[in-house]
Amino acid sequence: MSSPAIAAQEAAFLDLRRQRRRTTLLGLLVLAACLLLAAWTSEFHPATLAAGLPRIGEYFARIAPALEWNKLFADVETEGSLAFWFYRLDAWAILLFETAQMAALATLAGAVVALLLAFPAAKNTGAPAWAYQASRRFLEATRTVPEIVFALIFVWAFGVGALAGILAIALHTAGALGKLFADAMENVEMRPWDGVRASGGTWSEACRFAVLPAALPDLLSYAMLRFEINLRSASVIGFVGAGGIGEELYKVISFNYYEEISAILLLIILSVMVIDMLSERLRRRVIEAVA
């Protein structure tokens, strides 16, 4: 039924499949070995995990508020009511608002720096080697150092307050966004670039007219995403005295004010959700307007 040529091809196919399976198996074994090594060095012991898991539940049980159905909508003085749980809502709301402003300002400042550095950091714009290397390395350095480290430095320099937090997040944002911006710019079509250069435009004019309009929707998209991330960062960064709701959260955690921990966490989650929804709507609008 089958000619020798077909049989030979079938044999070759089986051979190839065997070879591929061997490669895949080998790859999986290497991966498993790496995982085990990583778990061992980072002391990720299954026994500790099993022992600790119930304690997480225990903590949540502790911070859960003691609400009572019949008193749920009673006033601040009554134990078991919502108002009693959120008794410092006015102060927390102001702190949350401050946190959101920190995130917004830091995102904006970081995005401006990122935009300016992304042009030389994009390979296709053909910036001089020193400018390319300098911008790439600066962006790497700023995004590798965690915000909290920057915040500690700035708190030491400028004192306790929101300014330190804003600067810390802005610096990290510049690094993180700058890389994404540069990558987005590397994907734009280069014909307009030739058009601007061929008519005598400078390098910066080619960046402005040939690269920016094509990359803009992507850049906005990344910046909005970063805003959401920065809101979370701004909530945590207060732990080191850099302003916002984080300071209050740190205080209630270290004093074991259990019910207040859950109240603040809930507020942060709610405001992140609201901002996520708003920014998604805004992003879609902006992209429609630009596209």
Partner 1 sequence: MLEIEGLTRRFGSVKAVDGVSLTVPAGQMVGVIGRSGAGKSTLLRLINRLAEPSEGRIRFDGRDVTALSGRALRDWRTECAMIFQQFNLVQRLDVLTNVLIGRLNHRHGVLARLGSLFCQFSPAERAMALAALERFDLLSTALQRADTLSGGQQQRVAICRALMQEPRLILADEPIASLDPRNARTVMDALAEVNRRDGLTVMVNLHHLDTAREYCTRVIAMQQGRVVFDGAPAELNAARITQIYGITEAEFQAEAAAAVNATPAHGFGPQVALA
Q: Which residues bind partner 1 (CB under 8 A)?
A: 124-128, 189-205, 208-210, 213-214, 216, 290-291
CB of 127 to partner 1, least distance (A): 8
CB of 238 to partner 1, least distance (A): 37
Output 79 or 205, the one with its CB closest to partner 1. 205
Packing angle, helices 212-237 and 147-158, rounded to 10:
70
Q: Return the residue matching tokens 């996520």.
A: 276
CB of 236 to partner 1, least distance (A): 37
CA 166 from chain center: how many Å? 15
CA distance 115 to 226: 14
Q: Which of 113, 109, 220 is nearest to 165 (CA)?
A: 109
CA distance 101 to 165: 11
CA 251 from chain center: how many Å? 25
CB of 119 to partner 1, least distance (A): 11
CB of 210 to partner 1, least distance (A): 6
Residue-wise burial string across 69-87, b where 16 or more C-beta atoms lie within 10 A, e elsewhere: eeeeeeeeeeeebbebbbb
Output 41 or 199, the one with its CB closest to partner 1. 199
CA distance 167 to 240: 14
CB of 4 to partner 1, least distance (A): 40
Q: Which CA distances in Å does 179 have to 53, 137, 194, 229, 243?
A: 38, 10, 24, 16, 28
